Amino acid sequence: MYAEFETYLREHMQLSDDELRLIHSFAVERKVRRKQVLLQEGEICRFKIFVCKGILRTYRTREDGTEHIVQFSSENLWVTEPESLHNHTPSRYYIDAVEDSELIFWTKSDFDTLFAQIPRLKYFTERLISRNVTLGRDRIFSAISSTPEEKYDEFIQTYPTVFARVPLHMIASYLGLSLKTLSRVRHAQLKR
Amino acid sequence: MYAEFETYLREHMQLSDDELRLIHSFAVERKVRRKQVLLQEGEICRFKIFVCKGILRTYRTREDGTEHIVQFSSENLWVTEPESLHNHTPSRYYIDAVEDSELIFWTKSDFDTLFAQIPRLKYFTERLISRNVTLGRDRIFSAISSTPEEKYDEFIQTYPTVFARVPLHMIASYLGLSLKTLSRVRHAQLKR
DNA sequence: GAAAAACAGCGTCAAATGTCCTCTTTTCCC
DNA sequence: GGGAAAAGAGGACATTTGACGCTGTTTTTC
């Protein structure tokens, strides 16, 4: 499982063998089953995760119990709950597995050590954050400006791999639509 | 105008007199009128702005010309278009002034110099970004899970100062509602 | 391999929302 | 100061969306 991650690292950064070893030394590999919960609401998030295989989702619930997905994370993506991780505050989000998944964990303090010793890793992470900020804005723009049909199309284009692997009601939850509306959109598209 | 900013700096960071002077040496103060455009779609964003006074808005248009506001920025907030700034790509967003405003500008390269020389500033900025990521997530959650009434109430609570100073159609644009729906929500609330 | 749960389509109805329009008040700008 | 533009409320109407209930199918689980 760690092989995928090392490939990813080599593709995105130039690191010395020592640096690669250091990163590996703090990593904890773990396989999880579908539906397994990795972070509960109210818990303090203590880890950063890299997804080697599978899909995770980050979601939040309303008082009425409905779940609303703010993020899917598939292969080669990082997952954490930054607010809880950085401030040591209870998380308002859940994280769980949509599929059986293969993950790599680091604790916050270990990752901070890595940042201190490997400037390139720090720099790379900053770029990832910056890109995430951009994606977040795009999502907000889409949420406030697009029709359900447009949201659905954008989702398929942006996350083609995720699309085929998660149930429709989760896509509806992610897009902020009812399952009914989503199925209407899909039905209408069949005719074209 | 610069006095407000220096107060802000002193409140949030411990900086030496030399560091304060260095920051000041790169700053460009500028007053702008209401509706003045600071960044156009297609332009490359070259600055970071601190708002001393007034309100800016960041928005994007659809093909049909409708404007959709992704952010309001009032006193003591920073504004830029990170995607364009970091990647030197054409901005997809507009930034303009909602009120007559007093602003301080830095170029990207000057700010990078400041980061290199003042680690505390870098650290502080990272915290701001982290907080913005959290706010962005909250906004997404709200957009996909809340009713129009809830969105309106949350907006008032989160941005009480902005709320009183921008026209309603901009609030509707920010929340992703039609002006009609917003005015209906407000009307219904009068009765309670 | 059987029972249970999850998934997703569909119909109907009611409610929410948007569009288009007019009308009034306020603000802006020369 | 006066004309033009902007802002916003409200009515009428059409459309969209969601809630609920039901059904058949697939998938999971033990």
Q: Do B82 and A133 touch (CB under 8 A)?
A: yes
**Cα–Cα–Cα angle for A56, A58, A61, nearest 5°?**
140
Q: Do B136 and A133 touch (CB under 8 A)?
A: yes
Buried b (16+ CB within 10 A) or exposed e, B112-137: eebeeebeebeeeeeeebbebbbebb
Residue B114, pLDDT score:
97
Residues of B in contact with A130 (CB under 8 A): 82-83, 86
Residue A189, pLDDT score:
83
- What is the pTM for the complete model shown? 0.94
Q: CB-CB: which of A70, A127, A144 is closest to B175?
A: A144
Residues B100, B90: Cα–Cα separation, whole Å: 26
Residues B32, B38: Cα–Cα separation, whole Å: 9
Query: Are A69 and A173 within 8 A, CB to CB?
Result: yes
Q: Do B82 and A130 touch (CB under 8 A)?
A: yes
pLDDT tens-digit readout, B65-86: 899 999 999 999 999 999 999 9
Give the pair of three-digit tokens for residue B145. Answer: 């899970």
Helix, strand, coil % in chain B, rounded to nearest 5: 50, 20, 25
Give the pair of three-digit tokens for residue A162. Answer: 């995720």
pLDDT tens-digit readout, B155-188: 999 999 999 999 999 999 999 999 999 999 999 9
Protein-to-nucleotide distance from the CA of A191 to the C1' of C9, whole angstroms: 16
Q: Which residues of A touch B (CB under 8 A)?
A: 60, 62, 66, 68, 70, 82-83, 86, 127, 129-130, 132-134, 136-137, 139-141, 143-145, 173-176
Residues A124, A9: Cα–Cα separation, whole Å: 10
Cα–Cα nearest to B42, from B89, B80, B97: B89
Q: Which nucleotide is nearest to A34 (CA to C1')?
A: D28
pLDDT tens-digit readout, A83-104: 999 999 999 999 999 999 999 9
pLDDT tens-digit readout, B14-60: 999 999 999 999 999 999 999 999 999 999 999 999 999 999 999 99
Q: Which nucleotide is nearest to A170 (CA to C1')?
A: C7
Cα–Cα nearest to A46, from A28, A62, A34: A28
Residues A97, A33: Cα–Cα separation, whole Å: 7
Q: Which nucleotide is nearest to B170 (CA to C1')?
A: D7
Protein-to-nucleotide distance from the CA of B184 to the C1' of D10, whole angstroms: 10
Residues B152, B147: Cα–Cα separation, whole Å: 9
**Burial group, residue B10, by CB count within 10 angstroms (0-12, 13-18, 19+):** exposed
Q: What DSSP assignment string belongs to B122-178?
A: HHHHHHHHHHHHHHHHHHHHHHHH--HHHHHHHHHHH-HHHHTTS-HHHHHHHHT--
